[in-house]
Structure 1
Amino acid sequence: MKRPRLRLRRQRAGQLEPPRPPRPSRSGRLRLPRTRRGQRLIAQAVMVGTVVALAPATWMHTTADGRVRAASEVPAQDVAMVFGAGLWNGRPTRYLAHRLDTAAELYRAGKVKVVLVTGDNSRAEYDEPDAMRTYLTERGVPDGRIVSDYAGFDTWDSCVRAKKIFGVDRAVLVTQGFHIRRALALCDSAGIESYGVGVEEPRDANTWYYGAREMVAAGKAALDAAFKPDPTFLGDQEKGVQEALASADG
Structure 2
Amino acid sequence: MRRRRRVLRWAAGVVGAVALVVLALNVLVLREGRGGVDDVARIDHAPVAIVLGAAVLPDGRMSAMLADRVRQGLALYRVAKVDKLLVSGDHGAWRYDETGTMRRALVRAGVPPRDVFTDHAGFDTRATMERARRVFGVRRAVVVTQGFHMSRALYLARRAGIDVQGLTSDLQPYRTGAGSAREVLARVKAVWSVVTGARVRGGPPHPITGDGRGSWGPPTPPTPPSPATPSAAATPPAPSALPAPPAAATPLDPPGPADSPGAAR
Whether these two folds match at TM > 0.5 is: yes
From 75, 94, 97, give the equivalent of 1:127.
97
Q: Deviations over 1:21-53 (max 9, x none)?
A: xxxxxx5994379xxxx98x9987665433212
Q: Does 1:238 align with 2:206?
A: yes
Residue 215 (structure 1) aligns with: 184
Q: Deviations over 1:123-156 (max 9, x none)?
A: 1112211110111122222211100111111111
Cα distance in 2 for partners of 1:189, 1:135 equals 30
From 100, 105, 112, give the equivalent of 2:75.
105
Secondary structure of residue in 2 paired with 1:61: helix
Secondary structure of residue in 1 paired with 2:51: strand
Residue 68 (structure 1) aligns with: 36
Q: What code does the residue aligned with 2:164 have?
A: S
CA contact (8 A) 1:121 1:129 kept: yes
Cα distance in 2 for partners of 1:29, 1:132 equals 59
CA contact (8 A) 1:104 1:140 kept: no
Secondary structure of residue in 2 paired with 1:31: helix
RMSD between aligned residues? 2.5
Q: Does 1:157 align with 2:119?
A: no
Q: Deviations over 1:68-98 (max 9, x none)?
A: 1222212110100011102112222111000
Q: What code does the residue aligned with 1:111 have?
A: K
Q: Does 1:87 align with 2:61?
A: no
- Superposed structure 1 runs of 4+ greater than 4 Å apart: 27-30, 41-47, 201-204
Shift in CA distance, 45/77, structure 1 to aligned 2, threshold 3 Å:
same
Consecutive unaligned residues of structure 1, counting only runs of 5 or more, are 1-26, 246-250
Of the two structures, which has the highest relative contact order with CA contacts closer than 8 Å and spacing of 6 or more? 2
Cα distance in 2 for partners of 1:32, 1:198 equals 48
CA contact (8 A) 2:149 2:183 kept: yes
CA contact (8 A) 1:201 1:207 kept: no
More helix, by proportion: 1
Consecutive unaligned residues of structure 2, counting only runs of 5 or more, are 213-265
Instruction: Give the TM-score of the pair, scaled to structure 1.
Output: 0.76
When Rg is computed on C-alpha atoms for both structures, the one with the higher figure is 1
Task: Provide the aligned length of Structure 1 versus Structure 2.
Answer: 210
CA contact (8 A) 1:187 1:194 kept: yes
Instruction: Give the TM-score of the pair, scaled to structure 2.
Output: 0.72
CA contact (8 A) 1:119 1:149 kept: yes
Q: Does 1:55 align with 2:55?
A: no
